[in-house]
Amino acid sequence: MKATPAAAPRPSRARARTTSIAAFVVLAALVPTTASASGTQEVEAELPYVCTLPSGQLPATVRVSAEFPERAGAGEAFTPSDVTTTVELPAEAVADLTARDAAEVRAATSLAVGVAQNTATAAATWRGSAEPVALPGSGPLTLVTRGDVPSVAGRSDGDLTFSAGALAIGLALGAADPATADPGSLTVDCTLAEDAPGQGLLATVPVGTDGQAPSGSPSSSGPAGSSGAPDDDGRQDGPGDRRPERQSERSPKVLENTPGAAADRDDVPPCRYDEQHPPTDVSLNAYVTGYANVKKMKGAAYLPPSCVLIEQGLPVPGPPDPEYLIFDTLSYANFHYRERKQTPPFEATFLSFDFAPVKATMVLEQTGTMRIDSRMKIRLSDFTTITDTYVRAPLVLHVLDLEVNGTPLDVGSECRTETSLTSEDPDPANFPGDHLVLYGRGEQLIGLPATGYLLLSGGALSGEATIPAFTGCGSDGEDLDRLLTASVSGPGNYIKQVQGQTCAIAAPVFPSPENEGQCTEDLQPYEIPVAER
């Protein structure tokens, strides 16, 4: 089977502005996780490439290693792990770099990976980075990069294949003598050689077994505890309704931070400033989405794309450091849904006690403004920028409706957690009280794209939360507080959030290549992110 590894086009991501380093995040709400794949397979592929360097087109060897599940269920998302990309460039490439008076090089790779199942295809991007290495005095140059990659889900039964495609290598060069001119950076584009074995095939993961999930999976459920992956119209395939012809046409789902990949714009709430919320020169808006584990339910939580309005602070000098220039930034953010500081209502389904389906409709409500503390450190030796962000958000979970095994339970109008979801704060003396804490780190090398989380370009943040006890749940004398507390409340709930590219409201007034693709014509965020596990 031939994969189509070409990457889908997308707007350029804005580079980080050193005067506006901040971050924000919101907690994912409660819906079930996908099943875990059983067993793993270790894969290592060695492939010939042709790379374009200043001296011309040169042959290169690329080795890609990773761990994949041995098998997965239809609709079940999984993430290749321990992904390593090793690039061996010939001696002629070393000569090209030393000709620029470079003595060392730091690499970042971007590998297009074609994902195919039956007759359908999708595209993913595997990114990696590396520490600086010295250029060899003779012989080839070996670069080894590592990084996280997007999750993938097969949409039907049939083998899911991963094939390597185009490779871009960003090279940040370091001079042997700091007093000499900066050798700058270089981007090397590589294509798979025509004689590559298996057309660049990296791995094959069987999906489903005669319509059944793999052994060891808790269930073969999609996001609502269903027996199969949802169709495009939202219906679920049951055991007796596999629709093989239709499934063969559905592309594998790549859970990557790609504009519009998560949902159609008609399916997400509006995210714009208005007369009641007029923007300023430092106003941003963005969509966020993500997952959070619910430890007691042995599942996870999903927050569909939600709008957040942000007011950026201005950076101020941080504590002195002989190796870094340090700037601290304080910004604030709020949910925005129908003039309320909350998420849109969302449904969640769990199997309570491993057999009784429980469905709830909930929202996350703010009890105060989200505070964003961001510290940017510029390393003086090479001007690498590292940004650490802590987000403190007071968020209460409000249950609107509850149904157990198909029977509605009246939870009343005041069913909520007693306090905000809480985390262990790294600085409790300065930040007391109940609030969620999430952390993100971003890094940017001169001449290379940013990695990790930065406010403008988005990315993932993570943390761990305790879900408090519930209160006010029930009506007509029926107290449901203890039922919900026993089923859901407790510590150790891991959270991962993804923010999309921000829309800088003032940017369309002064358009430039850096802010292209940030906003729609009516100043909403262009990018709708995809949740990652």
Q: Can you give the pLDDT of all 533 residues of the chain as single tens digits?
A: 333 333 333 333 333 333 332 222 222 222 233 333 348 899 999 999 999 988 899 999 999 999 999 998 887 778 898 899 999 999 999 998 988 888 888 888 889 899 999 888 888 888 888 888 999 988 999 999 987 788 888 878 889 999 999 998 988 888 777 666 677 778 889 999 998 988 899 999 999 854 333 333 222 233 333 333 333 333 333 333 333 333 335 667 665 433 334 466 878 899 999 888 899 889 999 999 887 777 777 666 678 889 999 999 999 999 999 989 999 999 999 999 988 999 888 777 665 554 567 777 889 999 999 998 999 999 888 888 999 989 999 999 999 988 877 788 899 999 999 999 999 999 999 999 999 999 988 888 877 777 788 888 888 888 999 999 999 998 887 888 988 898 889 998 888 888 888 998 876 655 544 455 688 888 999 988 887 76
Q: Would you state the pLDDT for residue 263?
A: 60
Q: CA–CA separation, 30 vs 363, rounded Å? A: 10
Q: CA–CA separation, 200 vs 193, rounded Å? A: 9
Q: Would you state the pLDDT for residue 36?
A: 37
Q: CA–CA separation, 336 vs 122, rounded Å? A: 33
Tell me the two tokens of residue 17. 């502005």
Q: Would you state the pLDDT for residue 515?
A: 53
Distance of CA 29 to the CA centre of its chain: 16
Angle at 425 between CA 422 and CA 428, to 5 degrees: 115
Place of tokens 């001696």: 91
Residue 246 phi/psi, 5° resolution? Answer: -70, -40
Long-range contacts of 487-492 (CB under 8 A, 24+ apart): 487/296, 487/297, 487/350, 487/352, 487/358, 488/30, 488/294, 488/296, 488/297, 489/296, 489/417, 490/295, 490/296, 490/466, 491/295, 491/464, 491/465, 491/466, 492/293, 492/295, 492/464, 492/466
Domains of the chain: 38-205 (2.60.40), 253-509 (no CATH)
Q: Would you state the pLDDT for residue 437?
A: 93
Q: CA–CA separation, 210 vs 106, rounded Å? A: 47
Q: Would you state the pLDDT for residue 183?
A: 77
pTM, whole model, 2 decimals? 0.56
The DSSP annotation for 70-109 comes to EEB-TT-EE--EEEEEEEEE-HHHHHHHHTTTEEEEEEEE
Q: CA–CA separation, 511 vs 523, rounded Å? A: 13
Tell me the two tokens of residue 302. 């999903």
Indicate the burial class of 56 (C-beta count within 10 angstroms; 0-12, 13-18, 19 or more).
Answer: exposed
